[in-house]
Amino acid sequence: MDTFEDPSRTRLLMDEEESYSRDFHRRLVESASPIPQYTPRRPLIEQCTNEWQQHTQWKSRRNSSPDGFDDALESFFDRCLAILKAPKIRRYLLLYTVILIFSIWLWSSMIWPVWAEQRMLARSLSAENRRASGGLFGSNLRPTFPNMIQVKDLDTKFVPKATASKDARADNVNRLIFVGDVHGCLDELKALLAKVNFNTKTDHLIAVGDVIAKGPDSGGTVDFLRETGASCVRGNHEDRILLMAHDANSSPLKVETPASQSSSDSSPARTLAASLTASQIAYLESCPLILRVGFLKPLASDLVVVHAGLVPGIPLDRQDPTSVMNMRSIHLNTHVPSKEPNPEGSVHWVKLWNKYQQSLPAQWSFFPSGIFGAQSAKEKRTTVIYGHDAPRGLQLKQYSKGIDTGCVKGGKLTALVLSANGSWQTVQVQCKDYRKRRPLDVEVEDVLRDGKLSKPDDEQEE
């Protein structure tokens, strides 16, 4: 017979067991030791409550915790490093670095030199410098030279002007054609004039000096210029040859000079001087130091032609002839010109000339003098056309045009064409090298030591 338990008894036993389990866990928790809590230790001095802590004399001006300052500094460096590691920041940093390097290069190599040069030019033309030099460029006044024309005015019929003929081409009428240093290169001169379609009826040719010497046909070049009715100015080579010709013609006695005593460059010059005819010498003597073309409205300035250069601030009739035929530079403080290209304290005369012209008042040619405030300036802006400076080559500035491009040395012969409307055109032809070189009578050791052969006889003299 199976025995069945009472359900109420079973439920009672389960309640007692659950109650016992709860009591056991409660006693276990109460008997366990509490978990120790960490309390940061503080210096004993901070536990003092004396009034010294409140006194301003003993208060620290820095962070009271050195560790806090170090942590802040370390955190700052960490943030900076994190910023630099960002790809976008690195790209911007590289870009700004390149811009900074380029700006420094641009300033040091281009902007600063130009700015410094303009300051020197302005200081050279300042009123203080004028008084210090006894008047602007006053020490360079012209001495008296016989048998020399200082200034000549170009015939007004040669000055470019508009034509009244309707069937004539406007760009080929009444042109002025300026030619650089020819130096006896007659073939190149003819080729150049053919290239510009030179016409003696509508064009006028002007040579800027040094039409003779060094080249193959000096006499023929002079005859050609005479036949075409060309104008010219006196260069340093014309001046030298004319002095030799006058010396030879005026001396009643002919003294033979031994070949050993004659310099290597004087013999060709004396030979050329002796070969010139009376008509050729007369033509060269008619060439003035300065050819004044006059005021040209399209250029808004006067136009003059010289061989080497002019000193700004000095009237044309008082310019020093030696400087006009030989100068290349001018001293900024003393205002003395020099034939040397780059002496200390000097600049190329063209720079000072253009700076000086820009400082002059503009010329108003729209109205007669006195109308609407227009007035005739005592000194007018002047554009000068020159040669002589082959090492610098073609130089076209606002108030100066250099057209010696070294034809006799194998360079080019340049023509500067001025039309009636005031436009400029540059035309060039290639030239042969006519320099005479010494025979190659040298030692091999000298060539190996110097690394080059000797220069031509006329290399040094321009």
What would the pLDDT profile of 242-292 be if each residue is shown by its tens digit?
999 887 776 554 444 444 444 444 578 889 999 999 999 999 999 999 999
- CA atoms of 44 and 8, how far apart (whole Å): 69
Contacts of 296 (CB under 8 A, 6+ apart): 159, 160, 302, 303, 418, 422
Q: What average pLDDT does the segment 40-68 reach? A: 62
Rounded percentage of the chain residues whose pLDDT exceeds 70: 66
How much is the pLDDT for 152?
95
Handedness of CA 382, 387, 390, 391 (dihedral sign): negative
Structure confidence at residue 162 (pLDDT) = 57
Alpha-carbon span 32 to 123, nearest angstrom: 99
The pLDDT of residue 112: 67
| Average of per-residue pLDDT across 85-93 | 76
Cβ distance 435 to 460 under 8 Å? no
Mean pLDDT (whole number) for 49-73:
62
**Average pLDDT, integer, range 412-430:** 93
Q: Is the pLDDT of residue 44 over 50?
A: yes
* Range in 13-22, 31-40, 311-320 with the lowest mean pLDDT: 31-40
Buried b (16+ CB within 10 A) or exposed e, 9-45: eeeeeeeeeeeeeeeeeeeeeeeeeeeeeeeeeeeee
**Per-residue DSSP letters for 87-144?**
HHHHHHHHHHHHHHHHHHHHIIIIIHHHHHHHHHHHHHTSHHHHHHTTSTTGGGPPPP
What ranges make up the beta strands (E) of 250-391? 290-296, 301-305, 329-331, 337-338, 346-348, 382-386
Q: What is the pTM of this model?
A: 0.66
Cβ contacts of 124 within 8 Å, gap of 6 or more: 332, 333, 335, 352
pLDDT in tens, 95-144: 888 888 888 888 777 776 776 666 666 666 665 555 555 554 544 555 56
Q: What are phi and psi of 437, to 5 degrees?
A: -110, 155
User: Domain spans of the chain?
Assistant: 68-124, 136-163+170-250+266-365+378-437
Residue 396 and residue 55: Cα distance in Å, rounded? 82
What is the model's pLDDT at position 122?
A: 67
On average, the pLDDT of the chain sits at 78
Q: Does domain 136-163+170-250+266-365+378-437 have CATH number 3.60.21.10?
A: yes
Number of H helices, E strands in the chain: 13, 14
Cα separation, 357 vs 299, in Å, equals 13
Please enumerate in sequence order all residues whose Cβ is within 8 A of that of 210, keeping only pairs 6 or more positions apart, or say none: 181, 182, 183, 235, 236, 237, 238, 307, 387, 388, 404
pLDDT in tens, 317-335: 889 999 999 999 998 877 7
At residue 234, the 3 state secondary structure works out as coil
Query: How far apart are alpha carbons 304 and 323 in whole angstroms?
Result: 16
Q: What is the pLDDT of residues 333-378, one digit of tens each?
A: 777 888 998 888 888 999 989 988 888 876 544 434 433 333 345 6
pLDDT for 189 beyond 80: yes
Alpha helix (H) residue ranges in 126-235: 127-132, 186-195, 218-227
Kindly tell me if the per-residue pLDDT of 174 is higher than 90: no
- pLDDT, residue 48, reads 67
Amino acid symbol at 461: E
Give pLDDT, residue 368. Answer: 44
